[in-house]
Each structure stands twice: as structure tokens, then as C-alpha cells.
Amino acid sequence: MPDISVDVLVIGAGPTGLGAAKRLNQIDTASWLIVDSNETPGGLASTDVTKEGFLYDVGGHVIFSHYKYFDDCIDEALPKEDDWYTHQRISYVRYKELWVPYPFQNNISILPKEDQVKCIDGIIDAALEARVANTKPKDFDEWIVRNTGIGVADIFMRPYNFKVWAVPTTKMQCQWLGERVAAPDAKLVTRNVILNKVAGNWGPNATFRFPARDGTGGIWIAVANTLPEKKKRFGKKGTVKKVDADKKEVTLEDGTTVGYQRLVNTMAVDALVEAMGDDKLIKLSKGLFYSSTHVIGVGIRGTRPERIGDKCWLYFPEDNCPFYRATIFSNYSPYNQPEKDVKLPTLQLANGSRRQSMSAKEGPYWSIMLEVSESSMKPVNRDTLLKDCIQGLVNTDMLKPEDEIVSTYHRCFDHGYPTPTLEREGVLKELLPALQEKGIYSRGRFGSWRYEVGNQDHSFMLGVEAVDNILNGTVELTLNYPDFVNGRQNTERRLVDGAQAFGKRPAENVVTGRRMTGGKAELGGRVETSGKE
């Protein structure tokens, strides 16, 4: 007999696991437990703080949402107006010492004339070929050329995407794209070039929210705090050592065994099958590819320069810096860096040298967060990466050689990006159902390995919808129909009046309860609703 028995066990307290736990707590008809190896919840949406007091998210995270339920949950966790800042996205591509407004392919009017000609030629050719094309692109590279033309492909899309994904675009499929890449309008681009105009903001994150304090990780700590303490096991006592799918039992690091009827797994699916010791599934998971992400933080003394201004995040396709993206993290919140009166010593100047006096003195301070990808196809020198990134900041005019650096940060995340390779769907269509047949719902950025639904709102709802499927048999729209959920505002689910109000006062369009069989509650029963599930 296991030490603990629950209807639903949730592995991982990142956005997906917390989404599952939040829904389980709301419906309140199944017993459940959430475990995580980290003492602090958040997973890949956590925030670190340097000893000097600079905050860095573990990657570029902002809040924009496709789901009212997600909004309800984070607003419940951080309900005050001053808990948040709302920003207009101000984003650029660095190219030939120019700042080209994002998206690059809509703003080639900024480029040198010879590049404008090359890009327009390609865009016109692509538009003409699109009229007669009767097949779908075979890979991401072909999609790029068909949609943006050979000029934009060579100047920006190919080099930038290799820096992001750490694999060539020819090895990636294109079904994941959806709303993530803007296809240029040939007439609009030509008009803007002639009139020397730039295009405005595009995309789902043209405006976004960011927490005032504690970074992105503060959101998930606050969400976790809305859950009952007795149903959370974090840290060593929540570290998964073994998963026995046949016995439906998980062994934790401290020796505790947890029995379950259904398992919602949010750890990387390749790590899950290793913990299961299933040789067939382990072999199958080898067909999945991922890249690692290095997050580099640089804290600078001085007033933020005008050339940086209110920029949010910036893209770097060229080879004069190792990073593909820079975020001006101090622009998101004044609490992301130390107060002006905090005294810090200078570690070095941006050119690598040291001043005669490196003694501690006051600010003000600002900060930059950088992201660098790594894979077997794109190795990096980890020993020199921080130094190379600082030099890259100088090369791209983000820093001046004489700028004083007072804090640095470097952390590598082995599983950074789940790569949508050509082989991915073939693996997932076999792997995820095989796990589900064993009562395991593997969901999340790496749990279900679908980057196109890997943002925070998607990840959260993958957990929510897994629970709805387990308890009520409802369709998991986010997992199975990414384009559908990304193309609309999903309003069917609401949090109502809080976590426990749901069980006391059912809301329209929200399923409650489980099917009763022989006096026992049976997981997986279907309850029909008037909502569009």
C-alpha cells in the first residue's frame, strides 16, 4: 500500500502543474496532490535575484493571454492595481548598426537601399508564386521563403532563427507557426519603402502586463499560495525518484510513495519515461529534440541611456554577438534592480578593464537580460560566454566601453526550447497516447513538447484542460487545436468567486462532478454542458 493515495497526482509546480492544481481545487470533487523538486514554485517561469539585488526571469516572459480563466487566476493571485505594470511592446531588430522596428519584414524601409531592393524583389517573387502554389511548404525554411521572400530570408529570418533554435530551419517543420510570424503584405511593404514609413505593432503581445514586484516568478508563487498547504509537497520531499505506471505509484526522494488513479505530469516527457524505466518509450522519446538556453544578466550603474530608451526586447540576427534576444529588464519594473541609494562596487567596465577606483558607490542602475541558445548543432563556449556576451553588448552599441558593470548573472537551462523538428509530430502522436493509456497525462512546455502552446497562458491551460478531461471527458483544445485557441478569446471557463465558490455554486458552461459507478466516483466520466467545449 502506498503511503499516500490520491485520485490525481500532479508532478511539477510550474504554470502547467499549477493550472491543473487550480482546477482540481476549484472543482473540488477529486482528491489530489502536487509535488515539485524545487522549494519555490514557478518552474521555467521562475525569477532569480542576484546578491546585488537585480532580478532576472529564467528567459523572456511577459503576460498576454488568450484565456479568461487564466486572467481570472492570476488576477485572484495578484488582485491590486499596483501589482502590475502594463507596457506597450517596443521592439527592434539590430541590423547593420540600425534599429529596425519589429517585425523586420514589414519595416524594410529602414534598411540600406541595396537591402531594400533585395527584400522587395523576394517579397514580390513570393507573392507571385503564392498565387499558383498548390502544395504546402515541406519545412520551416520553405515556409520562410514562400512567405517573406529570399531577401528577408537571407538577411534576417534564416540567421535569426538559427540563433534562436540552434538548428537549421531546414530541419524544422512549419505547422507550429500560427500567429507567431507576420507574413509581409507586398503592397504595404512597397508603399512604406516609397513613403519612407514604418509599420506599427503586430502580434498577440503588442501590449503586455508585467508584475511590479518579484518578476514573473512572483506570479506563480502567488498562484501557489491560493492552494491548500496540505496538498503541496515542494523541495526534497516533492522530488520524484521513480514512476511505476503499472502500479500507478510514484516514489519520492524521501522514500514516500504516492498512489494515484491519474497522473498529470509536467516534467520533460523524456525525463518522465526515464523515471518510468520504459525502454520502448525511452527509445521513442529519443526522436524529440531540444535546445538549451543560457540566460545572462548584466547590471549597469548609471542612468539608462537615451539610445536604449523605453525599448522592451530586441532581436539580434548577426554574428557580432552570441545572444539572439536582449530584454531591457529594468524597463519592466523599477523593482527589478536595486534602489538608487544602494552602494555597489564596480566589477569591471564593459571593455573588460578595471578602473583605478572600484569602490562601492550609489546608482542609479539599469539592467539587460540576454538569451543564448545551445545544442549539438550549435555549441557555445560556456567558459567565455559571459565575457563574449558583454563584448557583444559593446559591439551592438547596447553598452559603451566605459560603462560600469556592477552585477552579472549566468544560468543555463538544459531544456530551454522544445524544437518543432520534422520528426516531432510522429513521435508525439505515438508517445502521448501511449502514456495516456497508462493513465498519464503528460502536458506542458516540455511535458507535451509543443512550442506553439508553450507560453505561460497556454501552459497553465494545458493543466486545466487535462483535469477537465480526466474528470469530465472534455476535449483538450489547447493541446489538440493550437490554431483554434490562438485565434480567439477563450471565455468558456471562469474562476467565478474563488477556488471554493465553484463547488458551492456551479456556474454556467462549467462542468462539475464525476460520474458515479456502483457507489464509487469514476474518473473520466463526461458531463454535458451548454458551453463550447
Whether 259 maps to a domain, the answer reads yes
Task: Based on the fold, state whether residues 27 and 110 are members of the same structural domain.
Answer: no
**How does pLDDT run across 227-248, given as a tens digit for each residue?**
999 999 999 999 999 999 999 9
Look at residue 45 and tell me whether its pLDDT is greater than 80.
Answer: yes
* pLDDT for position 131: 85
Cβ–Cβ under 8 Å, residues 317 and 160: yes
**Residue range 253-267: mean pLDDT, rounded:** 98
**How does pLDDT run across 429-480, given as a tens digit for each residue?**
999 999 999 999 999 999 999 999 999 999 999 999 999 999 999 999 999 9
Whether 92 maps to a domain, the answer reads no
* pLDDT for position 407: 98
Whether 130 maps to a domain, the answer reads yes
* pLDDT for position 308: 94
Whether 494 maps to a domain, the answer reads yes
CA nearest neighbour of 223 among 452, 46, 38, 3: 46
Query: Cell for 99?
Result: 534599429
How many independent structural domains does the chain possess? Answer: 3
Q: Among residues 376, 396, 418, which one ends one of the domains?
A: 418
Task: Based on the fold, state whether residues 279 and 246 are members of the same structural domain.
Answer: yes
Count Cβ atoms below 10 Å from residue 381 Cβ, excluding itself: 10
Query: Cell for 300?
Result: 549597469
Q: How far apart are CA 116 and CA 122, in angstroms?
A: 10
Q: Among residues 388, 403, 418, which one ends one of the domains?
A: 418
The tally of CA atoms less than 13 A away on the side-chain side of residue 471 is 25
Count Cβ atoms below 10 Å from residue 43 Cβ, excluding itself: 24
Task: Based on the fold, state whether residues 29 and 115 are members of the same structural domain.
Answer: no
Whether 527 maps to a domain, the answer reads no
Beta-strand ranges (E) seen in 220-378 are: 232-234, 240-244, 249-252, 257-265, 290-301, 313-315, 325-327, 348-349, 365-374
CATH classification of the domain holding 392 = 3.90.660.20
**Residue range 213-218: mean pLDDT, rounded:** 96
Task: Based on the fold, state whether residues 253 and 302 are members of the same structural domain.
Answer: no
| 70 vs 517, more confident | 70
**How does pLDDT run across 13-29, given as a tens digit for each residue?**
999 999 999 999 999 99
Task: Based on the fold, state whether residues 115 and 158 are members of the same structural domain.
Answer: yes
* pLDDT for position 183: 65
Task: Based on the fold, state whether residues 222 and 76 are members of the same structural domain.
Answer: yes
Whether 204 maps to a domain, the answer reads no
Quote the mean pLDDT of the chain. Answer: 90
Cβ–Cβ under 8 Å, residues 325 and 370: yes
What are the two backbone dihedrals, phi and then psi, of residue 505, each rounded to the nearest 5 degrees?
Answer: -140, 90
Task: Based on the fold, state whether residues 135 and 188 are members of the same structural domain.
Answer: yes
- Domain interval for residue 355: 290-418
* pLDDT for position 203: 54
Task: Based on the fold, state whether residues 14 and 38 are members of the same structural domain.
Answer: yes
Task: Based on the fold, state whether residues 263 and 331 are members of the same structural domain.
Answer: no
Task: Based on the fold, state whether residues 281 and 296 are members of the same structural domain.
Answer: no
Report the b/e string of 448-459 with b at 16+ CB within 10 A: bbbbbbbbbbbb
**Residue range 107-115: mean pLDDT, rounded:** 94
Q: Please list, in sequence order, all residues whose beta carbon lies within 8 angstroms of the beta carbon of residue 22, skipping any fewer than 6 positions away.
A: 73, 223, 226, 227, 460, 463, 464, 499
Cβ–Cβ under 8 Å, residues 514 and 523: yes
**How long is the chain?**
533
Whether 99 maps to a domain, the answer reads no
Whether 63 maps to a domain, the answer reads no
Q: What is the pTM of this model?
A: 0.89
Task: Based on the fold, state whether residues 505 and 391 are members of the same structural domain.
Answer: no
Q: Among residues 400, 418, 436, which one ends one of the domains?
A: 418
| 186 vs 302, more confident | 302
**Residue range 261-271: mean pLDDT, rounded:** 98
Q: How far apart are CA 106 and CA 429, in angstroms?
A: 36
Task: Based on the fold, state whether residues 457 and 475 are members of the same structural domain.
Answer: yes
Q: How far apart are CA 143 and CA 139, in angstroms?
A: 6
Query: Cell for 415?
Result: 531544456
3-state secondary structure of 43: helix
- Rg of the chain in Å (alpha carbons): 24
Maximum Cα–Cα distance for the chain, whole Å? 81
**How does pLDDT run across 47-62, given as a tens digit for each residue?**
999 999 999 998 777 7
* pLDDT for position 191: 87
CATH classification of the domain holding 279 = 3.50.50.60
